[in-house]
Amino acid sequence: MKSPLRILHLEDDLSDAEHVRPALESQGVNCAIRRIQTHDDLVSALERGGIDLVLSNFSLSVGDRLSMSEVLRSRWPTIPLILVFGSLDEELIADSLKTGVTDWIPKGRLSWLAPAVRRAMHEVEERSERRGLEAQAIESQKMEVLSQLTSGMAHDFNNILAVILGYSDLLTSALAQDSPLQKYTEEIRHASNRATGLTRAIASLQPQTIGATPRD
């Protein structure tokens, strides 16, 4: 987990907000908390970036809360949202969880907050790791397909070159030794042999070397 954890706290009661940092730090969560009071302040802060987690006062209006969770889910889906509420309302909590709220903590049980934060950030790290592995797998598949395509093209091109070389040999044998056209058939053979060497080199490329940036 990041340290310090950068937290936005949407809370309209200053005295309640002041209990959050001690509750987290007493359980070993090093954090930098910024208190805000409106939905617009939240969006503005998120747009500036650098936020790891959002805490929200459950007593805020339902419309604001649902809008906030939907905004987070649509624009900042990797940032967890934990509700910190003063009074229990199971129906409202259920509605909030459906809109993407990560967890919920009663204000009277702030000792639960640090474990909830750790769980949320652990899930963020796991999702990030999964996305990284998925991206690697996709990239590996792309390189494999590109390697197969390159190998197939090289094979087809070699077949074309074989035809060119074959007809070049026929033309050479049909010409007199002192024919001025002999030099042209030699150039055709020379160029075809070079092209054959290039296609062999391309066909031997491994997936990890295709698309690699050349080093100086």
The Cα 171–Cα 207 span in angstroms is: 40
Residue 164: CB atoms within 10 Å: 15
Mean pLDDT, the chain, as a whole number?
83
> Which residues of the chain, if any, have pLDDT below 70?
58-67, 87-99, 205-216
Total count of residues recorded for the chain: 216
Domain boundaries, the chain: 5-133, 138-209
Residue 172: CB atoms within 10 Å: 17
For residue 142, what pLDDT is reported? 85
For residue 134, what pLDDT is reported? 87
Produce one character per residue of 61-90: b if its CB has 16 or more CB atoms within 10 Å, e if not.
Answer: eeeebbebbebbeeebeebbbbbbbeeeee
For residue 205, what pLDDT is reported? 64
Phi, psi (degrees; rounded to nearest 5) at 214: -60, 145
For residue 92, what pLDDT is reported? 66
The Cα 187–Cα 36 span in angstroms is: 78
Q: Are 3 and 32 in contact (CB under 8 A)?
A: no
Q: Does domain 5-133 have CATH number 3.40.50.300?
A: no
